[in-house]
Amino acid sequence: MDADRVTSGRPPADLIAACASAAEARAARRAGFRTAVVGIGASRGVPAGRIVSFGVAGGLDGLEVGTVIDATRIVDEEGHELWAGEGLGIPGAHPGTILAIDRIADDPTERRRLREQTGADAVDMESGILAATGRLDGCVRAVSDTLERPLGPLAEAVTPSGRPRAGSLAKALVREPAATVRALGDVRRALKALEGCRRRRLDGGGQGAEVPALPAPERGA
């Protein structure tokens, strides 16, 4: 299992932002969090200690691209609550519910069904696994795609470890240039919104350190 580097940011707290991709981790560091890259669906495992699920998410309920959600609940596809909390107190963020699933949901019809079933505001593939550790202290997500503005060709352009697939991205730019450029711009907008996140209460101290990743708990465990 990989060991993920944790880097100190402006709030040098003991909280670690667990991010699916390196791009999300960069945004988290700029927002002042220590970070760990856990891969898509936490495929690389999770770090020890207190964690925050941090990154982009697919919108389900009409929130605009770039909206930051400071979640107070995480639910599964049946609407069962996996985690609940007060949120991290991010100024200007939308308090809401994140749906945890094990796949990319980019089809508008499926997104509408998921919204009706769960009442969730947005969906991601990491938060449920992170919640299952029992060490989740918060969930901060920015909407990067919506029913009207799906990921489209970008849905297959990232590896399970969270790294870009250069070949897939190049093919998407050739086959669907307008949709790909639009989707890339939306993801960048969401990442920029995440960079602006700040916690009201800063705690802890210390320097960046190497944090060993632990196996991701299996769903249903």
- Of 3.90.120, 3.40.50, 3.30.70, 2.60.40, the CATH number of 3-199 is 3.40.50
pLDDT for the residue 13:
56
Sheet holding 209-214, edge to edge: 3-6, 209-214, 46-47
Q: Is the pLDDT of residue 196 over 50?
A: yes
pLDDT for the residue 152:
80
Q: pLDDT-derived band of residue 155, with 50, 70 and 90 as boundaries?
A: confident
Percent of the chain residues topping a pLDDT of 70? 79
With 0-12 / 13-18 / 19 or more C-beta atoms within 10 angstroms meaning exposed / middle / buried, residue 201 is exposed
* pLDDT single digits (tens) 160-186: 666 667 777 787 787 888 888 999 999
pLDDT for the residue 220:
43
47 or 155, which is more confident?
47
Q: pLDDT-derived band of residue 74, with 50, 70 and 90 as boundaries?
A: very high
Q: Is the pLDDT of residue 11 over 70?
A: no
Q: Is the pLDDT of residue 7 over 60?
A: no
Mean pLDDT value across the chain: 83
Q: Are strands 209-214 and 46-47 parallel, antiparallel or unpaired?
A: antiparallel
Q: What is the DSSP string of 188-204?
A: HHHHHHHHT---SS---
CA atoms within 13 A on the CB side of 169: 11
Q: Is the pLDDT of residue 49 over 70?
A: yes
